[in-house]
Chain A
């Protein structure tokens, strides 16, 4: 879809975010929740990368870790050529305007004691030294951009509907002219009719301001609508990463196949003939992930080797990456080697 090779705006490699578990009388560290475990992907300038997965698979944590709202355990994050993976929060501050976030719950993400003008103006207070009338002018511009009436500037968040609140959140994210916005399930808390409005608004803004999105969602149909490429996460890892059409047409990973088969089909004649892949069991705890492939406990096509060997992310078709032994060209060769799974694990980095 691009003529020239597009520029990589965000490069994530080997990102790990582990949360320690403390227990016992002395609060010793007894383990860790591997919310994001060795995730690598790139986002090209101007595109939308959809990040999908079920609840608790680490999508939101991944998005927040990329913006360094957490101190990450390991890995490298480059945004616009600048490495921010291990930078201190203080040194990050001047780079914050480039990357912003739209949050899931528009009610909780707006301070109930601040008026809309102050909420949208907060990033301006922090990063610019505009005079008061200039600031107000910018706030009005932003409110126009997201379709909010200028008269709402004096109101407080509780006086708005969910969709309007989400627009306030989007206006706040836009205030500093960012390049990259992480949309953390921006439509999950909204009515279906409002979802379309907000998604269309996000698309409009992308066209107008040349934004790059990481669009986190569990709504596969919405991701199909907005995303250029889609990454599927399961239990802290990326299972499959592919251009949108390729992913929806030919899902390669059994988990992606199961996810897609759960999307309802509007045509009843097709819906009746179609077979659903129903996964059994629950997602294992990220504090205690299974040996080998993360998905081996629920995979309908599980093989012997899946229980020992962690699959590597491979480019099976151009631009289509998958981490599954089914698509491993050395499948036959490695199937015999069940010994020493640990040794191979450590060198499997990235794509």
Chain B
């Protein structure tokens, strides 16, 4: 076993970059690869799509309203004759941007607060009571107040769409970090008592490096799971906000908006709900698979199996 003499002729591999190992493992996860491919496809479609499909999503052609799929309009048109494909592309840009930014914000905030609360005992009480406070806040009145207070100033600073984008991302981020914070805190509390943290302390590792080197990599799995769920949540919340008239203007397409608009015509044109619904669920599914694959790839105990 370990007492084997080291064969000098044997080539000793120098320590390899960890990220190459992670990529090797990620490649073996079929679902994750397909998810990643699909997600990239959607990203390409919404970014490069307008160059190929150049119909203006807000162009109203009242004579062509309520059409089914055809060569002129592959996804059909809506009740005002606007091309659904063009609206899907334009809406996808906004929805994906909102989803990913809001998720990132909630994740950073939740992880930061969770790690601080779990690692530093003095901060635990205060931070967790704040988390409880945010969980207990009634969401709708809060949103109304925030939007009333900040909409106009943000609009004048960043333009109508930019202002609303920042507002919505901020609101979703601020109201959805609490679950992550709680999960992360619980895991950090357990990790802190493990002997390898004690070993690092006996070396004299300062707190911030301890967190970066020993704590964060080991709480990556729950963070990854809440991240993948967070994107879906943010997309849905954004559409709910738009539906209530608190989000983007009503003629501004997002996937959630398209979905809500189409529900009025569910009886007559059921295929119209299909496109935004499919886009949201497939995006969420692909992100979930990517997260699954990443989580496995980042865990050396699963890697190489």
Contacts and interface: CB of A to CB of B under 8 A. Distances in A.
Interface of A: 64, 67, 69, 92-94, 96-97, 99-101, 103-105, 108-115, 117-118, 122-123, 126-127, 136, 140, 144, 147-151, 153-154, 156, 158, 161, 163-164, 167, 169, 172, 176
Nearest to B214: A111
Given A149-B4, A164-B1, A115 B18 contact: yes
Contacts of A67: 202
Contacts of A154: 13, 15-16
Contact of A156 (B1, B205, B301): B301
B27 to A, nearest CB: 18
B109 to A, nearest CB: 24
Interface in B178-234: 194-196, 198-206, 209, 213-214, 217-218
B9 interface: no
9 contacts: A93-B204, A93-B206, A103-B198, A122-B213, A136-B15, A140-B12, A149-B4, A153-B12, A154-B13
A351 to B, nearest CB: 27
Contacts of A105: 195
Most chain-A CB neighbours within 10 Å: which of B15, B16, B18? B15
Which of A92, A123, A144, A169 has the largest count of B CB atoms less than 10 A from its CB? A123
A104 B218 contact: no
Contacts of B298: 113
B217 A96 contact: no
Nearest to A155: B300
A135 to B, nearest CB: 10
Chain B contact surface mostly: loop
Contact of A108 (B1, B195, B203): B195
Nearest to A111: B196
A25 B200 CA distance: 35
A108 to B, nearest CB: 4
Interface in B211-267: 213-214, 217-218
B12 to A, nearest CB: 5
A118 B199 CA distance: 14
A122 B203 contact: yes
A39 B300 CA distance: 43
B2 interface: yes
Contact of B198 (A64, A97, A176): A64
Interface residues of B, number: 34
Given A154-B16, A156-B301, A147 B202 contact: no
A116 to B, nearest CB: 9
A103 B214 CA distance: 17
Contacts of B1: 161, 163-164
Contacts of A94: 204
Contact of A164 (B2, B16, B18, B203): B2
A163 to B, nearest CB: 7
B219 to A, nearest CB: 10
A156 B195 contact: no
Given A101-B202, A115-B15, A110 B2 contact: no
A272 to B, nearest CB: 39
A115 B301 CA distance: 11
A117 B21 CA distance: 15
Contacts of A97: 204
A162 to B, nearest CB: 11
Nearest to B203: A123
Given A96-B204, A113-B300, 12 more contacts: A93-B204, A97-B204, A99-B202, A101-B199, A109-B196, A127-B203, A136-B15, A153-B13, A156-B303, A158-B301, A163-B1, A163-B2
Nearest 9 Cβ contacts at the A-B interface:
A96-B204, A109-B195, A156-B300, A93-B204, A108-B195, A117-B15, A111-B196, A113-B217, A101-B202
B188 to A, nearest CB: 14
A144 B6 contact: yes
A81 B196 CA distance: 29
B141 interface: no
A161 B206 CA distance: 30
A150 B12 contact: yes
Contacts of A114: 213, 217
Contacts of B303: 156
A108 B196 contact: yes
A167 B2 CA distance: 9
B201 to A, nearest CB: 6
A110 B200 CA distance: 10
B13 A151 contact: yes
Given A111-B196, A151-B12, A126 B204 contact: yes
Given A96-B202, A108-B196, A123-B203, A113 B15 contact: no
A59 to B, nearest CB: 15
